[in-house]
Structures are given as structure tokens and as C-alpha cells.
Structure 1
């Protein structure tokens, strides 16, 4: 089983990579490894060494501390909870992008529907 810190660091790698529009292949090439290793880091299956994390941080244009931001809050989060940093969730970001691609009148109707559904689920 993966350690929660490794999973969190992997999610932060994926989040940053995705936010700057870099593929796993592109990141792997910048770091000098195979893209499968990036996949394993991002899932938390493999632990990222300090030197590799340094290289990844440089390739993604962030400080190493970026990968540990929100770690305390993530540890307290339970399954089914909304992420503490909603913008670190790839699915949530894709949903937001798709939502704002919908014409405004239809988007408002979708918003109203989502509110009704969430109220009835509570």
C-alpha cells in the first residue's frame, strides 16, 4: 500500500503538470526517465527520491515545497469528502472547463439542476 505522503506528492506532480499543459512523456524527457515512471510517481505507487523531486520541481517550474502544500489537510480528509483544494483535483478542473464551455443560459439551467440534486442528496 502506498504511503499517504507519496500519494499526495504524486497528486501534486500530476496537478502541476496538467496545469501547465505538459504530458507525462514531456516531463519524463525533461527529467531523463521513462514516462511509465512518471505514472508511478503520480499514483503514489513509487516514492520519489529527493534528487528526482528536485529535477521534477525544476522541470515544472516550482519550488520543492509546492509538492507538500496542503499535506496536513489532505491527511485529515476522509474518503468521499470534497478535496480541501478543489483545484488540485483533475476531475474538478475538467468539470469546470466543461461547465464554462457551455453557453451561459444553458449553464445557468445546469447550475440550478446541480443545486436541486445536491439538496435532495443531503
Structure 2
């Protein structure tokens, strides 16, 4: 009987230490925005009064980000708080307490149809976005945008 209790306790302990999928998603959105801005984990940590190791833990979802810290992250990364929940898979946002309905009505945006979330994490995409925003002349930036759209196949 004692062995069964130990095994059950270990299984429970393992479940408790596994990051929540929502924490992992929010952390990946922090990493995405930080990377798009070309900001290091160290610089983000300095802006928040944290070590880069703490930023790493947030980005991996190992440590949960509290409301006030999420607010600070949104301010430093210049995005609305809702950004961190954008593109969350439907199953992740479902709340069984309200009939399994997705929490989309509470500021969570729907994922864009036909857009693979993995595309946002490719180095090529991040470099392209950084280069695009380094173009200081709005008219030139608009022309580059129109050029890229014209080269893509019609939807």
C-alpha cells in the first residue's frame, strides 16, 4: 500500500510541475514580441527589474506571469495585454465552467484562418518584420508592403 501512495504522490507532483499550456502560450507571445523588437532577455529583464533567467522562465511558461507583471510587460513591449492571448488555440481557451465555450468574448482574439502560428516563429519572418519596421519613410514602407502583397498568390 505504501508503494502505491508514493507512486500516486509522484504522479501528482509531476502534474503540478508541468507548465500550463496557457502559461506556455503567453510566454511564447512574450518571446515573439521581444524578438520582433530586437530586444534581448537581459534588456527586457532590466526594464522590468528582473534577471534574464526570470524572463527565460516566463517565456518557457515555467513561471506563471501575474496580472501586474503582465501589465508591465505590455507597457514595456508596447502592446495591449490582450496581445499575449492572441492566437490561442480554441481548446486552450475553453472554459468548462461556462459550457465549454471559448473565452473569446473576454478580449481573446480569434486565430486568423489559414495562418499557421509556426510562421510567426521562423527566423525569416522575424528578420523580415524587423527590416520592414526599420524603413523610416512611411511612403516607402507602404510601397514595400504593396509589393509583397502583389507577389503573393491570390487568396
| TM-score, with structure 2 as normaliser | 0.52
When the two chains are superposed, the root-mean-square deviation of aligned CA atoms in Å is 2.2
Partner of residue 67, structure 2: 50
Size of the alignment, in residue pairs? 89
Partner of residue 31, structure 2: 14
The separation in 2 between residues aligned to 1:40 and 1:5, in whole angstroms, is 14
| TM-score, with structure 1 as normaliser | 0.65
Q: Cα offset for 1:85?
A: 2.1
- The runs of at least 4 consecutive aligned structure 1 residues that moved more than 6 Å come to none
Partner of residue 87, structure 2: 70
Q: Which runs of 5+ in 1 are unaligned?
A: 77-82, 99-122
Q: Does 1:4 align with 2:36?
A: no
Cα–Cα, structure 1 residues 74 and 26, in superposed 2: closer, same or farther, change >3 Å? farther
Q: Does 1:86 align with 2:153?
A: no
Q: Which runs of 5+ in 2 are unaligned?
A: 1-17, 94-114, 129-155
| SS at 1:65 equivalent | helix
The separation in 1 between residues aligned to 2:80 and 2:86, in whole angstroms, is 11
User: Is the 8 Å Cα contact of residues 11 and 43 (structure 1) preserved in structure 2?
Assistant: yes
| SS at 2:72 equivalent | helix
Structure index of larger Rg: 2
Q: Greater relative contact order (Cα 8 A, min sep 6): structure 1 or 2?
A: 1
| SS at 1:21 equivalent | coil
